[in-house]
């Protein structure tokens, strides 16, 4: 019976993955708040000004595919596509649920999918991803749009992170990886393990090939390549927001490896430029995609020119000729042979599709009855009882969130609340969620509906939210809005006509979550359980420039 249940669950997940690719085509979406393509043959960084952290990418023909870490958010492992490395669209999620399922049915901030790697080998796509509490997994497909195979545990063990495979010319296969000190009790070292030819199982013990304790502390995130007889390990060192891009090379797989710092902040404002992917173009140009940590905005994606000098890569622009580049903020676009339309990851949503837009993720595995994606042009969220051990909304799984899309923007949701008459304290709202959070919500009471403003300082530490009544509502329909300005400064307001907005509360400074940026979220909750729920219909969610 257990086998049948697992098979049924897998088939359901795969059907969802296939269905996701058939919803409204996001390829023509252009953000109103951030576009990298300048329209004159140049681009500006970041190419994606949103939290697609730990990016890795691969070129197959004239198509580029990029993935990023997703931690506890579901669906996980977002997969993006581009033709020119500048204009990116999100096309699917590789994981429709996080395994082990029983673990990730509960919110697991900062756990789950850490830095992944994507490769194309023998006409098949491979994605390796680490879960620091369980080990390293692989999932495969011949069709990048899915379905992808159920994740297989390649290498079991706590603290094994940041994997990347290499298929050598002699038929041997290897996996490079790092260690998470929080689980393994060691960090700042890079190791290589042998794998079977299929790349599905490690066949021997890891061998530490580089120790960064003295010169390159917190080295991690390795990516494995081979060129001109050299094995190369690209790896960030020095810390997420403060480090540099290191490259190791050796003629032998297990070393010894030489080291070289090939890019750092230099005299730019781009802190900690590192961890990403070397890709080339069909015309022979080399480029590097990497992230920059921007606190509440998460880890945004930059694109840097790259060249090879004496069999060492130089990333960015090397102004003083020392072999170490620094990031560019504006540059000519990659020469890919033709021009492609401007495109960006989707943000706004009119909720006209029967499936959730690809920009949305839950805080844990959904159970299927949290939402109806298109109910006559609305997103319907059903109230769900908060977990008994929840201290605040930080611990609630059924928050539907998306990433901050730019440094400055305005997000508005049109919501109509229909509470269950037999319940009190059902609550629906809009939240900016991080280690602290703020929210505007509508709560049902015996005598009607009330608009409340909530702030939770120290949500990550189990602190409780402070909720302040704003006004009693005469209608069940309201527009909730947050304006986000430089530094993650958030100001809330509400309206009944989408024209006249009334400001609420003090300016709130957003904080990141656990390894992720702050989220814009929608939710519907209650504190008791009976045989039915109330619900909120979200007519639309729009991201626009501040006005």
Positions marked active-site: 54, 220
Any idea what DSSP says for residue 148?
P
Enumerate residues 6+ apart whose C-beta is below 8 A from 338. Answer: none
The sign of the torsion formed by the CA atoms of 488, 493, 498, 499 equals: negative
Alpha-carbon span 461 to 137, nearest angstrom:
30
Alpha-carbon span 278 to 286, nearest angstrom:
7
Q: How are strands ordered across the β-sheet holding 299-309?
A: 274-280, 286-293, 299-309, 312-315
Helices (H), 202-341: none
- Reduced to 3 states (helix: H, G, I; strand: E, B; else coil), residue 547 is coil
68, 322 in Cβ contact below 8 A?
no
291, 299 in Cβ contact below 8 A?
yes
CA atoms within 13 A on the CB side of 306: 24
Q: For Cα atoms 49, 52, 55, give the angle at the middle one, nearest 5 degrees.
A: 115
Element (H, E) at 167: strand 160-167
Across the chain, how many H-helices and E-strands are there?
A: 3, 36
Q: Which of 164, 278, 271 is nearest to 220 (CA)?
A: 164
409-418 and 477-485 beta bridge pairing? antiparallel
Residue 323: other Cβ atoms inside 10 A = 14
216, 239 in Cβ contact below 8 A?
no
Q: Which of 40, 35, 65, 64 is nearest to 50 (CA)?
A: 35
Question: What are the distances in angstroms from CA 15 to CA 9, 19, 22, 167, 258?
Answer: 10, 6, 11, 31, 47
CA atoms within 13 A on the CB side of 478: 26
306, 313 in Cβ contact below 8 A?
yes
Burial of 238 (0-12, 13-18, 19+ CB in 10 A): buried
- Give one DSSP letter per residue of 424-468, joined into a string: S--EEEEEEESSSEEEEEEEEETTEEEEEEEEETTGGGTPPPEEE
């Amino acid at each position: 019976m257990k086998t049948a249940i697992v098979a049924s669950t897998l088939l359901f997940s795969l059907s969802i993955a296939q269905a996701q690719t058939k919803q409204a085509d996001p390829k023509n979406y252009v953000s109103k708040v951030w576009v990298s393509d300048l329209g004159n043959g140049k681009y500006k960084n970041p190419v994606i000004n949103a939290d697609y952290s730990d990016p890795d990418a691969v070129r197959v023909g004239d198509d580029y595919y990029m993935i990023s870490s997703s931690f506890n958010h579901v669906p996980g492992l977002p997969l993006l596509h581009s033709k020119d490395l500048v204009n990116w669209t999100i096309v699917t999620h590789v994981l429709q649920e996080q395994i082990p399922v029983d673990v990730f049915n509960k919110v697991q901030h900062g756990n789950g999918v850490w830095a992944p790697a994507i490769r194309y080998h023998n006409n098949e796509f491979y994605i390796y991803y680490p879960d620091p509490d369980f080990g390293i997994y692989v999932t495969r497909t011949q069709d990048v749009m899915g379905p992808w195979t159920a994740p297989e545990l390649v290498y079991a063990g706590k603290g094994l992170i940041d994997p990347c495979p290499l298929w050598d010319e002699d038929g041997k296969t290897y996996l490079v990886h790092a260690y998470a000190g929080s689980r393994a009790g060691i960090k700042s070292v890079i190791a290589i393990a042998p794998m079977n030819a299929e790349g599905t199982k490690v066949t021997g013990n890891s061998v530490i090939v580089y120790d960064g304790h003295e010169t390159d502390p917190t080295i991690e995130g390795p990516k494995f390549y081979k060129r001109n007889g050299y094995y190369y390990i690209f790896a960030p060192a020095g810390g997420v927001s403060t480090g540099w891009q290191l490259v190791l090379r050796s003629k032998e797989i297990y070393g010894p490896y030489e080291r070289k710092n090939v890019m750092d902040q230099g005299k730019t404002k781009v802190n900690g430029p590192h961890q990403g992917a070397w890709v080339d173009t069909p015309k022979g140009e080399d480029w590097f995609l990497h992230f920059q940590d921007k606190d509440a905005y998460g880890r945004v994606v930059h694109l840097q020119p790259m060249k090879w000098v004496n069999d060492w890569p130089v990333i960015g622009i090397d102004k003083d000729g020392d072999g170490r580049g620094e990031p560019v903020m504006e540059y000519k676009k990659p020469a890919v042979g033709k021009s492609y339309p401007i495109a960006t990851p989707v943000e706004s949503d009119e909720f006209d599709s029967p499936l959730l837009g690809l920009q949305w993720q839950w805080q844990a595995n959904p159970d299927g009855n949290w939402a109806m994606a298109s109910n006559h042009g609305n997103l319907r969220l059903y109230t769900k009882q908060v977990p008994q051990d929840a201290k605040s909304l930080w611990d609630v799984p059924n928050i539907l969130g998306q990433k901050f899309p730019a440094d400055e923007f305005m997000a508005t949701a049109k919501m109509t609340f229909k509470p269950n008459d037999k319940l009190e304290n059902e609550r629906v709202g809009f939240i900016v969620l991080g280690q602290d959070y703020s929210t505007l919500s509508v709560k049902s009471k015996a005598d009607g509906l009330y608009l409340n403003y909530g702030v939770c300082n120290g949500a990550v530490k189990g602190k409780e939210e402070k909720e302040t009544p704003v006004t009693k509502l005469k209608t069940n329909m309201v527009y909730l809005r947050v304006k986000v300005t430089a530094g993650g400064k958030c100001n809330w307001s509400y309206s009944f006509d989408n024209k006249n907005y009334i400001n609420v509360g003090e300016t709130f400074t957003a904080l990141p979550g656990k390894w992720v940026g702050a989220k814009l979220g929608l939710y519907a909750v209650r504190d008791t359980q009976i045989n039915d729920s109330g619900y909120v219909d979200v007519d639309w969610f729009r991201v626009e420039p501040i006005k």
